[in-house]
């Protein structure tokens, strides 16, 4: 008997049909992958199963019995737990407090702090991560460490069915390997996993069967070993995708340097960084989580104050001792944060507000917004980027993760930035949307703009970059043409095993 049977499940949000008669069957002791483009209905489906949403129609059966949880707590009582794509934790609480949230140990009405610490330490043993200590405040951790806390919180519970929505999108490869080992242990114990991912290589490594969703419908399902990648991608996007990375002509070294960085130091994260980015170039930075990549980019944009160094934008010096993002924006610098939900977007505001946020002058007059003009400009970007939304007035928080990422990128395009700092621009984005983002980047550099691309995904760096530097232990290596790097040499540089 299947662990979970989903039959003709339907869910609609206003005019948007998120699920349109989905059928999925999850067998006991198996890993079933759920793949598809952003907005295909994957996250909506697992939120229904986790009790966060109620379906409009259809049936779900758990071990042959009707299953319709009214809340996440009720779902967990039925042995179903969800690891979210974006960690749903409390940044003001400690790691230990987040790990036991909702299942605290109390005695005579008082929290048992010793038992709480013991529970937390036991959960954290699932991952050997240097950042994770029970008493540390969650908001101080990196995105990847927060994701691990969320994973530990769920896996520490005795859930029979674990739903995983993009659990590896913020993780380093070593943490991904550990998670896959834990998944195999779950399966060996007879538990079941419904696994969502945009990385087909991960899906093949961990899953037994697969279902492809497109526009709220299941369009392909079966054993993974019987379905090749070409067929999967075609089912996901509705057409064959021949070239993931667009071809581009090489950049001449005689081109103008739009961004010049010398002796940048921002201890303890960045010990030393120096590089130049030329007009029409995609410059990549690789490195492990915590290596200082994000701190470097934030210092360049004026979000953090470095201890020393020099920065020139389009030939003009910028004052690093007085960090002001507004000054960087005025100088032609744009920034896409790796923390999309936390600081990359104003999720409570509309798509139109977010797209025009850093250049409101394009749709204002005498200090007053021209709302009609703002809507028209936003609609143009929605069409160009293929953002799936009912209206430009729709709050960003109602969009799928991939469509939120397109809004964040669209803001930089509308800003008309000359140099774009992109920190993990395709995290949590489906293959079809990745192709769109790569083409946008290629169009930008073809028009003479420059891109600094920070990514944990090596195929993306090798496919898109002209030159590549590696961040290792706070030091940035010498930049070399991407053809002179290999995955092995990148890893060695990231671990500090070769001289920069």
Pairwise CA distance, residues 25 & 4, whole Å: 6
Digit-coded pLDDT (tens) for 180-204: 999 999 999 999 999 998 888 889 9
Pairwise CA distance, residues 331 & 319, whole Å: 12
Of 418 and 428, more confident: 418
Nearest alpha-carbon partner for 464 in 276, 243, 283: 283
Average pLDDT over residues 286-309: 88
Supply the DSSP symbol for 398: G
The first and second tokens of residue 14, run together, are 């206003």
Q: What is the pLDDT of residue 254?
A: 64
Give the DSSP H/E element, type plus range, for residue 118: helix 113-124
Q: What is the pLDDT of residue 75?
A: 93
- The HSE-up count of residue 111 (CA atoms within 13 Å, CB side) is 13
Nearest alpha-carbon partner for 469 in 199, 185, 275: 275
- Of the ranges 83-97, 173-187, 301-315, 403-417, which one carries the lowest mean pLDDT score? 83-97
What confidence tier does 121 reach under pLDDT thresholds 50, 70, 90? confident
User: Which residue has 């940044």 as its token pair?
Assistant: 91
Residue 103, pLDDT above cutoff 80: no
Residue 277, pLDDT above cutoff 90: yes
> For residue 400, what are the β-bridge partners?
none
Nearest alpha-carbon partner for 93 in 153, 52, 33, 39: 153
- Its pTM stands at 0.70
Q: What is the pLDDT of residue 253?
A: 61
What angle, rounded to 10 degrees, do the helices at 401-415 and 371-385 form?
120
Of 247 and 225, more confident: 225
Q: What is the pLDDT of residue 185?
A: 92
Q: What is the pLDDT of residue 500?
A: 44
SS3 168: coil
Residues 6+ apart with CB under 8 A from 8: 21, 22, 23, 57, 58, 59
The CA–CA distances, whole Å, from 377 to 253, 392, 432, 436 equal: 36, 10, 24, 19
SS3 374: helix
Residue 165, pLDDT above cutoff 80: yes
Phi, psi of 5 (to 5 degrees): -125, 125
Cβ proximity of 348 and 397 under 8 Å: yes
Q: What is the pLDDT of residue 496?
A: 66
Supply the DSSP symbol for 145: H
Burial bucket for residue 52 (CB in 10 Å: 0-12, 13-18, 19+) = middle
What confidence tier does 499 reach under pLDDT thresholds 50, 70, 90? very low
Average pLDDT over residues 138-156: 86
Interstrand relation of 467-472 and 480-481 (parallel, antiparallel or unpaired): antiparallel
Nearest alpha-carbon partner for 286 in 409, 475, 454: 454
- The HSE-up count of residue 11 (CA atoms within 13 Å, CB side) is 24
The CA–CA distances, whole Å, from 24 to 75, 86, 220, 332 equal: 18, 24, 10, 48
Cβ proximity of 49 and 75 under 8 Å: yes
Taking the CA atoms of 382, 403, 170 and 233 in sequence, report the sign of the dihedral they define.
Answer: negative
Give the DSSP H/E element, type plus range, for residue 48: helix 42-49
Pairwise CA distance, residues 338 & 347, whole Å: 15
Digit-coded pLDDT (tens) for 1-57: 789 999 999 999 877 788 999 999 999 999 999 998 877 899 999 999 999 999 999
Pairwise CA distance, residues 53 & 96, whole Å: 28
Q: What is the pLDDT of residue 497?
A: 58
């Amino acid at each position: 008997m299947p662990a979970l049977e989903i039959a003709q499940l339907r869910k609609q949000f206003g005019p948007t049909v998120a699920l349109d008669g989905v059928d999925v069957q999850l067998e006991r002791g198996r890993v079933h992958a759920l793949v598809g483009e952003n907005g295909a209905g994957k996250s909506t489906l697992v939120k229904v199963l986790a009790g966060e949403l109620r379906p409009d129609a259809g049936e779900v059966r758990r071990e042959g019995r009707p299953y319709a949880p009214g809340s996440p707590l009720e779902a967990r009582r039925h042995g179903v737990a969800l690891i979210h794509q974006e960690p749903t934790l409390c940044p003001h609480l400690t790691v230990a407090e987040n790990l036991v949230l909702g299942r605290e140990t109390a005695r005579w009405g008082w929290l048992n702090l010793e038992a709480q610490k013991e529970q937390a330490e036991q959960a954290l043993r699932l991952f050997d991560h240097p950042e994770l200590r029970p008493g540390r405040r969650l908001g101080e951790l990196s995105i990847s460490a927060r994701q691990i806390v969320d994973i530990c919180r769920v896996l520490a519970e005795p859930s029979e069915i674990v739903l995983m929505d993009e659990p590896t999108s913020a993780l380093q490869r070593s943490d991904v390997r550990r998670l896959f080992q834990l998944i195999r242990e779950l399966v060996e114990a007879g538990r079941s996993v419904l696994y969502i991912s945009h990385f087909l290589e991960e899906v093949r490594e961990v899953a037994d069967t697969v279902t492809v969703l497109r526009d709220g419908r299941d369009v392909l399902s079966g054993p993974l070993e019987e379905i090749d990648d070409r067929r999967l991608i075609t089912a996901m996007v509705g057409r064959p995708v021949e070239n993931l990375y667009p071809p581009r002509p090489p950049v001449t070294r005689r081109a103008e340097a739009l961004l010049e960085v010398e002796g940048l130091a921002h201890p303890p994260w960045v010990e030393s960084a120096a590089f130049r980015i030329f007009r029409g170039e995609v410059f990549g930075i690789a490195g492990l989580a915590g290596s200082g990549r994000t701190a470097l980019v934030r210092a360049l944009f004026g979000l953090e104050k470095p201890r020393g160094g020099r920065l020139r934008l389009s030939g003009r010096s910028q004052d690093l001792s007085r960090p002001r993002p507004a000054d960087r924006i005025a100088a032609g610098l744009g920034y896409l944060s790796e923390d999309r939900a936390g600081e990359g977007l104003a999720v409570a505001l509309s798509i139109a507000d977010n797209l025009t946020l850093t250049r409101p002058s394009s749709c204002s007059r005498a200090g007053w917004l021209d709302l009609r003009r703002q809507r028209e400009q936003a609609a143009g970007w929605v069409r160009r980027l293929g953002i799936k939304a009912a209206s430009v007035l729709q709050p960003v928080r109602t969009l799928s993760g991939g469509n939120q990422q397109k809004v964040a990128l669209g803001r930089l395009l509308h800003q008309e930035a000359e140099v774009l700092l992109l920190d993990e621009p395709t995290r949590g984005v489906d293959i079809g949307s990745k192709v769109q983002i790569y083409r946008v980047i290629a169009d930008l550099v073809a028009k003479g703009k420059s891109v600094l691309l920070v990514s944990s995904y090596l195929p993306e760096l090798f496919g898109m970059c002209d030159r590549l530097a590696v961040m290792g232990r706070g030091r940035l290596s010498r930049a070399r043409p991407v053809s002179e790097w290999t995955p092995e040499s990148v890893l060695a540089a990231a671990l500090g095993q070769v001289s920069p």
